[in-house]
């Protein structure tokens, strides 16, 4: 007992969370560490649950973009923040959010970020995602399909999207003159 009592556990990380009980024995102050193992279990379990929660969050968000190229030529391009993240693949899957994404079919006449072509702009982030089709002149209708598959949801557009667009767009207001 005297040998064990002389050991100092105060600097040991194993006993840092333990409850200490001090008492006098043979005229000397003694300290007993109680519940050492029991006090460490909740701490370890808490850390393990925290790690599992972060892993679960990282795996939970996944987004996909699929090109349906019916033109027979061109390369599907996806950019994020100006950097190309997919060049030539018809299917792209991202295991995190996608901010300021732009998708277009590079036919040779498009700019590096889709300028001059029909561009699909997207922000894919849980729980809500936004997607729009940009027809800012000058543009080229580089995709002849009238459906776009983003995240397993078909986005469809009808009417007015032909070679004369935006001049004859089937909208309540003319695209070139929103005051009409």
Q: How confident is the model at residue 49 (pLDDT cuts 50, 70, 90)?
A: very low
Q: How confident is the model at residue 108 (pLDDT cuts 50, 70, 90)?
A: confident
Q: Say if residues 66 and 91 touch (Cβ distance below 8 Å).
A: yes
What is the structure's pLDDT at 58? 45
Sign of the torsion angle spanned by Cα atoms 167, 173, 178, 180: positive
Q: What average pLDDT score do residues 52-70 get?
A: 61
Which of 22-36, 56-70, 75-89, 138-152 has the highest average model confidence (pLDDT)? 75-89
Structure-block tokens of residue 164? 């004369």
Q: Say if residues 140 and 114 touch (Cβ distance below 8 Å).
A: no
CA distance 177 to 167: 9
pLDDT over 90, % of the chain: 0
Supply the mean pLDDT for the chain. 60
Beta bridge partners of 101: 80, 122
Residue ranges of domains in the chain:
2-60, 63-156
pLDDT at 59 over 50: no
What is the structure's pLDDT at 79? 87
pLDDT at 93 over 80: no
Out of 18-27, 32-41, 131-140, 169-178, pick the least confident.
169-178
Q: What is the pLDDT of residues 154-171, one digit of tens each?
A: 444 433 334 433 433 344
Q: What is the pLDDT of residues 123-158, one digit of tens each?
A: 877 777 777 777 666 655 544 334 444 444 444 443
């Amino acid at each position: 007992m005297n040998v064990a009592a002389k050991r100092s556990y105060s600097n040991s990380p194993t006993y840092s969370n333990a409850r200490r009980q001090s008492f006098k024995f043979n005229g000397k102050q003694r300290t007993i560490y109680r519940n050492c193992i029991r006090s460490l279990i909740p701490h370890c379990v808490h850390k393990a649950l925290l790690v599992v929660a972060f892993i679960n969050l990282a795996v939970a968000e996944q987004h996909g973009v699929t090109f349906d190229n019916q033109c027979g030529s061109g390369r599907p391009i996806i950019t994020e923040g100006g950097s190309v993240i997919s060049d030539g693949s018809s299917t792209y899957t991202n295991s995190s959010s996608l901010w300021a994404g732009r998708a277009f079919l590079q036919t040779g006449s498009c700019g590096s970020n889709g300028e001059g072509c029909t561009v699909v702009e997207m922000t894919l982030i849980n729980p809500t995602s936004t997607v729009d089709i940009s027809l800012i002149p000058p543009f080229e209708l580089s995709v002849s399909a009238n459906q776009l598959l983003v995240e397993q949801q078909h986005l469809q557009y009808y009417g007015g999207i032909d070679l004369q667009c935006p001049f004859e767009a089937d909208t309540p207001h003319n695209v070139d003159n929103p005051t009409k």
